[in-house]
């Protein structure tokens, strides 16, 4: 949670700088394209060697090529800040997803069945060294940590409208909710023992 909060202003400043630079470059590309096409048309119009309409074909072809490449460059330049934000957001969301799995992995050995009177331990059974009450608190804390991971993921996407980022946040929230549900099932079994 602290890392999400600490990185937000820094990422926001970098994205703002990238947005300004990409917009300036896009304006330069657009200006250069308009000037180049304008000069080509002016040269073609003032050229006395134009005898037929077929002499205009190279100009038309060049103009279309210039416009297509300029449009591609403009799209690329305008999407740079959004792609930067998506990359950073997905990297942070991946870390949050990993954290959720670590929380889930650590509570897997906390089996409430061990407190039943007819429980028989095997050689592979691991004793967590917790009383029934301590285990209940431990599982409750795990559930709370998973809830915090889900909330931190929602904070990552607070400023984003990117479908990939929002989908990833939804996946993390569903993952943490499912894991928390399994933990609460253990707590309910523990309370019945």
Of 111, 119, 117, 118, residue with least CA distance to 136: 111
Per-residue model confidence as pLDDT tens digits over 172-191: 999 999 999 998 888 888 87
- Write down the domain spans for the chain: 2-119+129-192
In angstroms, the CA 135 to CA 127 distance is 11
DSSP 9: H
Q: Which pLDDT score, from 0 to 100, does residue 3 have? A: 56
Question: Which two three-digit tokens encode residue 119?
Answer: 């429980």
By residue count, the chain amounts to 193
Residue 4 has pLDDT above 60, yes or no: no
DSSP 109: T
Provide the pLDDT confidence category of residue 7 given band limits of 50, 70 and 90.
Answer: low
Of 176, 155, 189, residue with least CA distance to 7: 155
Q: Which pLDDT score, from 0 to 100, does residue 48 have? A: 58
Q: Which pLDDT score, from 0 to 100, does residue 84 have? A: 85
Residue 149 has pLDDT above 80, yes or no: yes
Of 152, 150, 116, residue with least CA distance to 135: 116
Question: Which two three-digit tokens encode residue 60?
Answer: 């038309």
Per-residue model confidence as pLDDT tens digits over 84-133: 888 888 999 999 999 999 999 988 778 887 777 777 777 777 777 888 88
User: What does the angle CA 69 – CA 75 – CA 77 come to, to the nearest 5 degrees?
Assistant: 100
Q: Which pLDDT score, from 0 to 100, does residue 52 have? A: 64
Which residue is it, tokens 């889900």?
Answer: 150
């Amino acid at each position: 949670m602290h890392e999400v909060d600490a990185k937000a202003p820094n990422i926001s400043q970098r994205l703002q700088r990238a947005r300004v630079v990409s917009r300036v470059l896009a304006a330069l590309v657009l200006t250069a394209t308009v000037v180049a096409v304008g000069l080509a048309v002016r040269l073609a119009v003032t050229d006395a060697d134009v005898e037929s309409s077929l002499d205009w074909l190279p100009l038309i072809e060049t103009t279309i090529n210039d416009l297509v490449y300029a449009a591609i460059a403009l799209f690329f330049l305008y999407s740079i800040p959004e792609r930067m934000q998506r990359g950073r957001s997905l990297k942070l969301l991946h870390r949050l997803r990993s954290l959720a799995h670590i929380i889930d992995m650590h509570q897997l050995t906390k089996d409430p069945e061990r407190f039943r009177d007819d429980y028989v331990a095997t050689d592979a059974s691991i004793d967590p060294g917790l009383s029934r009450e301590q285990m209940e608190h431990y599982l409750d804390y795990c559930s709370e940590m998973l809830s915090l991971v889900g909330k931190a993921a929602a904070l990552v996407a607070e400023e984003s409208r990117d479908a990939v980022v929002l989908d990833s946040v939804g996946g993390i929230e569903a993952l943490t909710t499912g894991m928390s549900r399994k933990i609460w099932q253990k707590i309910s079994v523990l309370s019945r023992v």
